[in-house]
Amino acid sequence: MRKIPSMFWVPLFLLSSSFSVALDYSVITPRDSLKDGDTLSSTDHVFQLGFFSFDQDEQPQHRFLCLWYKQPFAVVWVANRNNPLYGTSGFLNLSASGDLQLFDGEHRALWSSSSSSKATKPAKNPYLKINCTGNLLLGDDEEAVLWQSFDDPMNTILAGMKLGKNFKTQQEWSLTSWKTLKDPSTGEYTLSLDTRGLPQLILRKKGDPSYSYRLGSWNGLSFTGAPAMGRENTLFNYKFTSSAQEVNYSWTPRRDIVSRLVLNTTGKLQRFIQSKQHEWNLANTAPEDECDYYSICGAYAVCGISSKNTPSCSCLQGFKPKSGRKWNISRGAEGCVHEVPTKCGKKDIFVKFPGMKLPDTSWSWYDSRNAMTLEDCKVKCSSNCSCTAYANTDIRKGGKGCLLWFGDLLDMREYASFGQDVYIRMGFAKKEFKGREKVGMIVGSVMSIAVVLVAVFACYRKKIMKRYHGESLIKRVGEEDMDMGLPILDIKAIYIATDDFSYINFLGRGGFGPVYKGRLENGQEIAVKRLCENSGQGVLEFKNEVKLIAKLQHRNLVRLLGCCIQGEERMLIYEYMPNKSLDFFIFDERRRRELDWGKRSNIIYGIARGLLYLHQDSRLRIIHRDLKAGNVLLDNDMNPKISDFGLAKSFGGDQSESSTNRVVGTYGYMPPEYAIDGHFSVKSDVFSFGVLVLEVITGKTNRGFQHADHDLNLLGHVWKLWVEDRAIEVPEEDLLEETCAVSEILRCIHVALHCVQQKPEDRPTMASVVLMFGSDGSLPDPKKPGFFTNRNVPDVSSSLSRSINQVSITMIQGR
C-alpha cells in the first residue's frame, strides 16, 4: 500500500474542499505531493519525513522539512536548514526527471536534491522512500541512487553513515552543528576527517584556524583521542576505510541497539542510546574534559586533570618548559623543549611513552599498506634526522604499520587504560634513561650539600644579572635607538593591553615567538610579538632587527609601531591586521569564497611589490627567508602586508647571496639550494613567492595537497597539468566563472612556474616578475620545478623541527 490515510474511518461528507486529510506515505512518486501535515514513513515506522516547527510559539512559524525518529522523537536531518518556510503552505514535489524540490506557497523553490545529486542521466520512474536505517533515498526502477540524505549529513550520524572524503568525486561527509536548539541553520562547529598525513577526526570552530578538539587517528580499534570508543567496543562495530580513492569512518550496532551521534550547538559530540523505556539516554560526550581541547599545553607536553578538577600541564620525561618562568596553559604558546638536544646520529635514542593519545598527524608520513614492522619503522625514523617520533598505525595483533612524525609533537595526553605506545627521539643522556649508578651515601650527601650551595649562589647571581641585563638592554637599545623615532613602550602597558597575554588574545606563532592581540589605553589595536627566551636572538640581533624593520616603509609591509625591552622580555609592537593572515582565508573552503579573482590578484601583485621593495628599493637589500601564507597579513581592505622579519637577512652594497649552517624557514616554501646546502639569496624569496602564488590560485597548500590520481605535491601537480596542456584545470572552478580573468590567471600560473624552477639562476628577479605581471608579451617555457614533487617522507640528512599550521622550522645542517 503506497498511501494510508491517518484517519481510517472518515464520513464521505467530510471529504470536501473545506477539509484536508493528512496522509502518511510509504513511497512518494511524481504523482504525489507531500504537503504540510503529510508524512513519509519508513516501512518499520521508525522514521518519518514531514514539516516541523522548532519554536511553536513563533508567529508566523518557521517550518522545516525534517526527518525524525518517531518514538522517542528526535530530528536527525533537515532539508531547508538555512532557508525556512513561513507558515504551512509548503509542499514537496518529485519531478518525472528525478528532481526532488521543496516549494513555498508562492511556488518558489527553497531546496532541491539536484544541488548535490550525482545523477548523470534522467531517472526512469523515480521514487522517494525512507530505508529502515533512516536514509532518505531517491531512486528509480534501474536501482540507481539519484540522491540520498546519507550523502548530505547535518548534525547527526546514524548507523551506516559516513564521515570522510572521496578524492575522486570530491564528495565530503562531515557534520555541522545547529545554530541553537530552536534554529537548525548552520552553526559554529564542524566535525570532519582531516586527510593531511595520517587521517584524523577533528572538530573545528568557525573563525578559528586551529582545531578545537582532535579525536585523533584510527589505530585499528578506535580513534586514539576517544577513550569512549574503547569502552563501546562491545556495543558497536567501527569501520575505517582508507584507500587512494576514499577515506571514511562509519559504525553499526553489534546488538539490537538504537543510537545516534550528535554534534551539539556548543561543539560537543554526544552519543545517545535508546533505552528499553523508549527514552534517549546520553551515553558519553567528547571532549570529556578541558584536557581534551587541542594542544592546550603546547609541544612535548601532556595535560592532566588535578584533584581540583582543573587542567594542569607537565613536560614529558626528558623535556623541560620552554620558558624558565611558570608556564601557563595556552594553546601552543608555551610547551616544552628537549633537555638534551638531539644530534642526529647514533647518539640519539628513542624512548617509549606508553598509553598516549597519538600526537597531531597533520604533518606525518605513514605506511599506507600497513606492511612495516615496528623495527622497520624505527630504522626508517633513525635514518632521517627530520623524524621526531614513530609508532604503529595498527595496534591489533601485536601491532603493524609505520607512522612517522616530522616536527614538534602536539596535542598529547596520557591515559591510564587506553592509548598507544609512541617512541620519541631523544638526545642521549645516560642518567635519564639508563638509570643512575649506585654511589656511597657519604659521597651522595656531600654532593647534595654542594648542589644546594651552588644552586643558592646561582639564584643570587641570576637575580643580579637579570637586573643588570634588563638595565643594559634598555640602555644599549633604548637610548641609542630613540633617534630612530621608534617608541619604546612600558611593559606594564603591554601586559594591560594583552590582558596578561591571555589565550583569548593569542593570534599565532611567528619566527622567534608567539603573537598576541592588544588594545592600548588610547583604543589603538596592536599585535605584540613576544620573543622567546631561547629564540636564539641575542641583544645585538634584536637591536639589528628593530633597526631593520623600523626603517622599512612600504604599503605592502606591516608597520612596526614600537618595541618593549625590560629584564628578559623583548617585544615588538606591530599594527594590528583585523583580517588576520592569508592562510586564514585561502586554505578554508568557506572563507576563500570571499576572495574573487580581483582580490586574489591584488594580493598576489601586492606581495610582489613588497618583495621588490625589500630586494631592490629599500636602503638595504633584504631577504625575508620565511615568506608564506601565514606571514602575509590582510588589512581592512584585504590589502596584503608582508610580516614577521624575525628570520630576515640584510645585505649592503652589491651583495645578494650568502650561506648558513643554520637553515630556517618553512617546509613547502624552501628552495632546494637553501634546504639542502644552506645557500640563500633573493632568488630564495622568489621561489617562496612562486609557491605562494599557486596556493592563492588553487586554494591548496603545497605540502598538504592530495590527489586521487597521483602522489605529487602542489608544485608537481601543477607541472603535470602544464606539460599536459591542461593548465586551465589548475585554478578553483569558482575563479573560472570570471571568464574575463582566465587569461590573467593562466599568466600568473606561468609566472609562478618560472619562480619555482630548480636552479636559482633560472628564476626571475622580483623586478622581472612585476614586469611580467604588468605586460602582455609572450613568456618563455618554464623548466621543471625544484624540490619535493611528491608527498613521500623527505630524504634529507638534517635535523629539523616543525609544528602544525606551518610555523617556522629550524634545520641544523652539518657542513
Final residue belonging to a domain, choices 545, 575, 605: 575
Q: Does position 536 have pLDDT exceeding 60, yes or no?
A: no
Residue 451 lies in a domain: no
Q: Are 576 and 508 in contact (CB under 8 A)?
A: no
- Report pLDDT for 152: 96
* pLDDT, tens only, 291-325: 899 988 889 999 887 666 778 888 998 898 887 56
More confident residue, 27 or 674: 27
Q: Read off the pLDDT of each residue in 466-490 and give the average, rounded to a whole number.
A: 48
- pLDDT, tens digit (0-9, with 9 covering 90-100), for 744-794: 999 999 999 999 999 999 999 999 999 999 888 889 999 999 864 544 444
Which residues have a Cβ under 8 Å from the Cβ of 815 and sit 6 or more positions away?
661, 678
Last residue in a domain, options 552, 575, 598:
575
Strands of 364-366's sheet in order across: 364-366, 403-406, 387-391, 420-427, 348-357, 413-414
User: What is the pLDDT averaged over residues 213-240?
Assistant: 84
Same domain for 129 and 18? yes
Name the 3-class secondary structure at 380.
helix
**pLDDT above 70 for 803:** no
Whether residue 328 has pLDDT greater than 70: no
44-48, 126-130, 317-321, 344-348: least confident range: 344-348
At position 47, the amino acid (one-letter code) is F
pLDDT score, position 6: 36
pLDDT of 805 strictly over 60: no
| DSSP string covering 624-643 | -S--SGGGEEE-TT--EEE-
Three-state DSSP class for 2?
coil
User: Does some domain include residue 657?
Assistant: yes
**501-526 pLDDT, tens digit each:** 876 677 776 656 678 899 998 899 99
Among 633, 804, 801, 782, CA closest to 704: 804
Percent of the chain surpassing pLDDT 90: 47
Are the CB atoms for 116 and 99 separated by under 8 Å?
no
Across the chain, mean pLDDT equals 81
Which has more confidence, 205 or 233? Answer: 205
- Edge-to-edge order in the sheet of strand 100-103: 33-35, 91-94, 100-103, 109-112
pTM: 0.55
Question: Is 416 in the same domain as 528?
Answer: no
Handedness of CA 384, 388, 392, 394 (dihedral sign): negative
Q: What is the CATH number of the domain that holds 570?
A: 3.30.200.20
Instruction: Give the CATH number for residue 107.
Output: 2.90.10.10
Are 33 and 112 contained in the same domain? Answer: yes
Confidence bin at 16 (pLDDT 50/70/90): very low
Q: For residues 764, 766, 771 and 772, what is the CA-based torsion angle, rounded to 10 degrees?
A: 50
| Mean pLDDT value of segment 217-245 | 84
Q: What does DSSP assign to residue 15?
A: -
Give residue 246's pLDDT band: very low, low, confident or very high (50, 70, 90): very high
What is the number of structural domains in the chain? 5
| DSSP string for 727-792 | GGGSS-HHHHTSGGGHHHHHHHHHHHHHHTBSSGGGSPPHHHHHHHHH--S--PPPPPBPS--B-S
> In terms of Cα–Cα distance, which of 256, 222, 225, 254 is closest to 239?
222
- Res. 192: pLDDT tops 80: yes
How many angstroms separate the CA atoms of 84 and 51, rounded?
Answer: 11
CA 615, CA 767: separation in Å to the nearest integer?
9
The answer to whether residues 204 and 212 touch, using CB atoms and an 8 Å cutoff, is yes
586 and 570 part of one domain = no
pLDDT band, residue 327 (cuts 50/70/90): low
Q: Specify the range with the lowest mean pLDDT, choosing from 195-209, 392-406, 527-541.
A: 527-541
Q: In this predicted structure, what is the pLDDT of residue 659?
A: 60
Distance CA 207, CA 168 (A): 28
Output the CA–CA distances (angstroms, integers) from residue 468 to 247, 462, 790, in the order listed: 59, 10, 52
Q: What is the mean pLDDT of residues 553-560?
A: 91
- Exposure string of 661-689, with b = 16+ CB inside 10 Å and e = fewer, is eebbbbbbbbbbbbbbebbbbbbbbbbbb
Q: What is the distance between the alpha carbons of residues 77 and 252, in angstroms, rounded to a whole number?
A: 19
The answer, yes or no, to whether residue 451 has pLDDT greater than 80, is no
For residue 677, the enclosing domain spans 582-812
| Comparison of pLDDT for 514 and 625, the residue scoring more | 625
333 confidence band (pLDDT: 50, 70, 90): low
Query: Average pLDDT of 81-108?
Result: 94
Q: Is 626 a catalytic residue?
A: yes
pLDDT of residue 576: 92
Considering the domain boundaries, does residue 459 fall inside one?
Answer: no
CA-based nearest residue to 84, from 68, 99, 59, 65: 65
Contacts of 501 (CB under 8 A, 6+ apart): 333, 495, 516, 528, 530
Residue at a domain's end among 575, 605, 623? 575
pLDDT at 464 over 70: no
Report yes or no on 56 lying in a domain: yes
Average pLDDT over residues 110-133: 83
Q: What is the pLDDT of residue 457?
A: 47
**Active-site residue among 32, 367, 408, 626?**
626
DSSP 536-552: S--HHHHHHHHHHHHT-
**Based on the domain organization, do 657 and 638 belong to the same domain?**
yes
- Residue 797, domain CATH: 1.10.510.10
Q: Residue 642: inside a domain, yes or no?
A: yes
pLDDT at 782: 94
**Whole-number pLDDT of residue 208:** 84
Query: For 482-492, what is the mean pLDDT?
Result: 70
* pLDDT given for residue 791 in this prediction: 43
pLDDT recorded at residue 263? 98
Do residue 655 and residue 765 come from a single domain? yes
Q: What tens digit of pLDDT does each residue of 250-289 get?
A: 999 977 889 999 999 999 999 999 988 889 999 889 998 8
pLDDT digits (tens, 9 = 90+) for 700-733: 988 777 776 777 889 999 999 999 999 999 998 8
pLDDT band at 107 (very low <50, low <70, confident <90, very high): very high
Question: Does some domain include residue 439?
Answer: no
Residue 144 in 3-state DSSP? coil
Residue 161 belongs to some domain of the structure: no
Whether residue 557 is found in the same domain as residue 587: no
Which residues are 565's β-sheet partners? 570
Same domain, 315 and 419: yes
**Do residue 646 and residue 779 come from a single domain?**
yes
On whether residue 443 sits in a domain, the answer given is no
Residues 240 and 317 in one domain: no
Q: What distance in Å separates the CA atoms of residue 733 and residue 736, rounded to the nearest whole number?
A: 5
pLDDT digits (tens, 9 = 90+) for 589-601: 778 888 999 999 9
Cα 489 versus chain centre, distance: 34
Q: State whether 569 and 591 are in the same domain.
A: no
Q: Does 609 lie in the same domain as 699?
A: yes
Would you give the DSSP letter of residue 80?
T
User: Comparing C-alpha atoms, which of 709, 643, 661, 619 is closest to residue 810?
Assistant: 661
Average pLDDT in the 35-51 region? Answer: 96
The percent of residues above 70 in pLDDT, for the chain, comes to 79
723: cell is 606539460
Listed ranges 1-5, 37-41, 492-496, 577-581; the one with the highest mean pLDDT: 37-41
Helices 682-698 and 766-774 sit at what angle, rounded to 10 degrees? 40
**Any residues with CB less than 8 A from the CB of 667 and at least 6 apart, and which?**
363, 406, 675, 703, 794, 800, 802, 806, 809
